[in-house]
């Protein structure tokens, strides 16, 4: 029931007692207190906002994946160029290490000349120095095991010091 005040010409609603199960929310109830669905304009705006947010997320993700693909292609081209350069440098190293190239560089840059008369020398190694007396590995004495075996078999001989 609507009551009008004559002085201010404002419309006010008559308060009805709430029934069980009714909510007092503006979105979910009518001015007269009977229940109805959610406000259509608000539901539409929320739906549009959600669809716009999902669309923006999809566009951002697609753009990000595309930019990563371009970057990956660029890096792969750089890698292939570096591999070609590495192979070229390896070929240059192999060419400069060839014996003919070394000879050319020696004659041209270092001023060396080829030998004409070859002379081969026989080199003899010096004899090993005499064994030192304090080195037990260089002595002619039998080892402890040889001396023990000699005593067991009876074929031992006494040295100068009586051993």
Model pLDDT for residues 22-76, shown as the tens digit of each residue: 455 555 555 555 566 778 899 999 999 999 999 999 999 999 999 999 999 999 9
Helices (H), the chain: 40-96, 99-108, 144-153
Q: Which pLDDT does position 159 carry in this prediction?
A: 55
Q: What tokens were used for 135?
A: 């080195």
Average pLDDT, the chain: 79
> How much is the pTM?
0.38
Total domains, the chain: 1
Domain annotation covers residue 40: yes
| Weakest mean pLDDT among 11-25, 36-50, 134-148 | 11-25
Range of the domain at 90: 13-96
Domain annotation covers residue 108: no
Domain annotation covers residue 91: yes
Long-range contact list for 156-161, CB < 8 A, 24+ apart? none
pLDDT at residue 138 tops 70? no
Q: Which pLDDT does position 113 carry in this prediction?
A: 87
């Amino acid at each position: 029931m609507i009551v009008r005040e004559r002085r201010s010409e404002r419309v006010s609603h008559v308060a009805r007692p709430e029934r069980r199960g009714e909510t007092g929310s503006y979105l979910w109830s009518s001015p007269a207190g009977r229940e109805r669905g959610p406000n259509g304009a608000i539901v539409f705006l929320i739906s549009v906002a959600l669809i716009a947010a999902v669309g923006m997320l999809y566009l951002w993700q697609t753009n990000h994946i595309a930019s990563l693909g371009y970057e990956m292609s660029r890096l792969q081209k750089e890698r292939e160029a570096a591999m070609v350069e590495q192979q070229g440098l390896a070929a240059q190293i192999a060419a400069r290490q060839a014996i003919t190239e070394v000879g050319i560089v020696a004659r041209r840059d270092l001023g060396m000349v080829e030998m004409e008369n070859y002379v081969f020398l026989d080199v003899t190694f010096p004899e090993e120095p005499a064994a030192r007396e304090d080195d037990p590995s260089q002595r002619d004495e039998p080892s402890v095991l040889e001396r023990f075996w000699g005593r067991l078999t009876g074929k031992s001989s006494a040295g100068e010091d009586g051993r």
